[in-house]
Chains A and B, each alone.
Chain A
Amino acid sequence: MTKKQSIIRRGPLEYSKIKWLKYFSVVFFIVLYAPIINLIIFSFNDSRLNIVWRGFTIKYYVKALQNETLILSFINSLSIAFISTMISTLIGLSAAICLWKFNFRLKTYYDLSLLVPIIIPEICMGVAMLIFFNSVHWPVFTIWPLNLSEIIIAHISFSFPFVVIIIRARLGNLNKSLIEASKDLGATEWITFRYVIFPFIKPALIASSLLTFILSLDDFIITFFTSGPNNITLPVKIYSMVRFGVSPEINAASTILIMIVIISTVLIIKFLNYEKDLK
């Protein structure tokens, strides 16, 4: 096939068949994934220096599991993620319903104010939380989960606006006549919510809570400013290890975190495909 023929075979809009575009994107995706795949592979490497491959081992996972502070920070991370997910889903749900159902003065401003935590640089929010908890003399608790209260509060502040956005997007697709029908048939506000609205927004609710779970589990910067020496999370622990250089233990701990996030992401994508359920 001559060059001219191959050009003719490609339709005017079939850009995905352009050769250089294809090669470019292949290189792009390789560069995007190579470092992380490399990190996962080298977590199984039997070498302290971790430069050359010296054989397969899981001893760094065993070592990571025996590291008490690492385990503790992992438990902290999971507790924070669970609690902040539950609270931010509830707050986000009520705010989304309020914004969807009612008209009120200053509504635009309330709407905009929910976007601010998403937009401002994370470091500013971290600093704000640090100054706030210090200025109000936030009590130091020793019992679980109150010892994590500062981090949990900070996480709820940046994650519940995401819940509002996702649930509102879903509520926007709800056919209002369903609600009118429900009310015509004598249902109370609660019954309508329970049997009409809730089943409709359920996938969005699950997806947004998984998203907040990931956001909380992954957050480093804001947690770094709000955590004290006694309530570190896994990313903060990883950061303190990274400062001493590359080691297979960090790779092992990171791989565990990556796996949790990948599983949650797959679940989110599954739940966000609600259009398919409708058909």
Chain B
Amino acid sequence: MDSWKVKKKFFTFSIIPGFAWIMVFFFLPLAFVWIMSFGEKSNIIDVVITGTLDNYTRAFDRVYFKVLAHSFLISLITTFICLIISLPIAFLISFSSRRIKTFLLILIILPFWTNLLIRTYSLIAILRTEGHVNKILEFLWIKINNVLLFLGIYDGQLTPNEFIPLNLLYNNFSVIFGLVYIYIPFMIIPIYVVLDKFDKSYIEASLDLGAGQIKTLFKIIIPLIYPGIISGVLLVLIPCLGSFVTPDLLGGSNSQMIGNVIERQFKSANDWPFGAALSFLLIYITIGLILIHSLFSKKIVEEKIL
């Protein structure tokens, strides 16, 4: 690696495009949002920057605070479910033979690159009242009834008299289902990456020394793949908090998330300063989560050195 002073011309030529682009077309727009979050609407189109903090205090009003808390809750539940599902899947992949491993990884990555909107939309057909899940349930329901009738245990019908399709769409269930469905590759891949690298003889040693499978899992495997789990949690939690397509298409009026409120400020309610403040709140939360993460990973490194 050279010092930049050796080849000043080459250095300037190579650094400028990327640096200028990210400054002008990324950080400058963010600065605009930040400034606007201290503004007030003067009339329908104009915004005056007055340095007010009203937009931020408004975000903690009862109505919006509820949405904020709700978004956190939904995101945390989603992250937890993703983690529970991802551990065994990542485990299976990393212990598979080489060919199956590649195949399974492709299977994980492929939907990850399919459009988020299309994947969310595809769930509607599955979950709606006339959807496939309800069809399967109805089919099972009829079969069970027939068996009961045949056995004469019950006079033909489970209560109630007709199969009532479950409401699987436009509620919190469908939002969490959709978020898990969309973001689960983000959890599986980092866990898999760490799991694949670590020395499997630790597991063998633990089992040889008499620890059971479950004890090995909690005492050996999980502490060792911890960094992967933490990255996975961040990679799921952050986009979940900012999600707007999934609650918009799959959620009902009670399952609105902060992303929906932000979108409304720009697309219909036309209160840009408030929308900007909410966006920056989301950015602060993201930064906070990443700082916590870096503190944790520092601690882990220190513990390992000691």
Contact = CB atoms under 8 A, between A and B. Distances in A.
Interface in A113-135: 113-114, 116-117, 119-125, 127-132, 135
A95 interface: yes
Contacts of A29: 107
A265 B113 contact: yes
Interface stretch (A62-70, A140-148, A256-264): A256-264
A230 B194 CA distance: 46
B30 interface: yes
Contacts of A250: 121
B282 A121 contact: yes
Interface in B234-257: 238-239, 241-245, 249
A34 interface: yes
B11 interface: yes
B157 interface: no
Interface in B79-115: 85, 88-89, 91-92, 95-97, 100, 104, 106-107, 109-111, 113-115
A210 B305 CA distance: 41
Interface string B61-75: 000000000000000
Contact of B18 (A92, A102, A122): A92
A202 interface: no
B109 A265 contact: yes
Contacts of A95: 14-15, 17-19
Interface string B110-130: 110111111101111110101
B223 interface: no
Contact of B3 (A33, A94, A103): A103
B140 interface: no
Q: How large is the interface on A (under 10, 10 to 19, 20 to 34, 35 or more residues)?
A: 35 or more
A71 interface: no
A191 B239 CA distance: 44
Given A123-B263, A131-B33, A39 B125 contact: yes
A14 B95 contact: yes
Contacts of A235: 115, 117-118
Given A102-B1, A128-B29, A132-B28, A38 B117 contact: no
Given A32-B181, A103-B4, A117-B22, A21 B91 contact: yes
B27 interface: yes
A145 B108 CA distance: 35
Interface in A217-276: 218, 220-221, 225, 235, 238-239, 242, 246, 250, 254, 257-258, 261-262, 264-265, 269
A238 B100 CA distance: 35
Contact of B1 (A42, A103, A128): A103
A22 interface: yes
B200 interface: yes
B118 A39 contact: yes
B121 A25 contact: no
A35 interface: yes
A36 interface: yes
B88 A261 contact: no
A261 to B, nearest CB: 6
Interface of B: 1-4, 7, 10-11, 13-15, 17-19, 21-22, 25-30, 32-33, 36, 85, 88-89, 91-92, 95-97, 100, 104, 106-107, 109-111, 113-119, 121-126, 128, 130, 132, 181, 184, 200, 203-204, 207-208, 238-239, 241-245, 249, 259, 262-263, 266, 272, 275-276, 279-280, 282-283, 286, 290
Given A15-B91, A39-B122, 9 more contacts: A25-B92, A35-B125, A91-B17, A92-B18, A94-B17, A103-B4, A110-B15, A132-B25, A160-B18
10 contacts: A16-B95, A25-B89, A29-B107, A35-B126, A91-B21, A94-B18, A95-B17, A124-B282, A254-B118, A265-B110
Interface of A: 12-16, 21-22, 24-25, 28-29, 31-36, 38-39, 42, 50-51, 90-92, 94-95, 97-98, 100-104, 110, 113-114, 116-117, 119-125, 127-132, 135, 153-154, 156-157, 160-161, 164, 189, 214, 218, 220-221, 225, 235, 238-239, 242, 246, 250, 254, 257-258, 261-262, 264-265, 269
Interchain residue pairs A-B with the least CB separation, the first 8? A121-B242, A95-B18, A132-B29, A98-B14, A128-B29, A35-B122, A15-B95, A39-B122
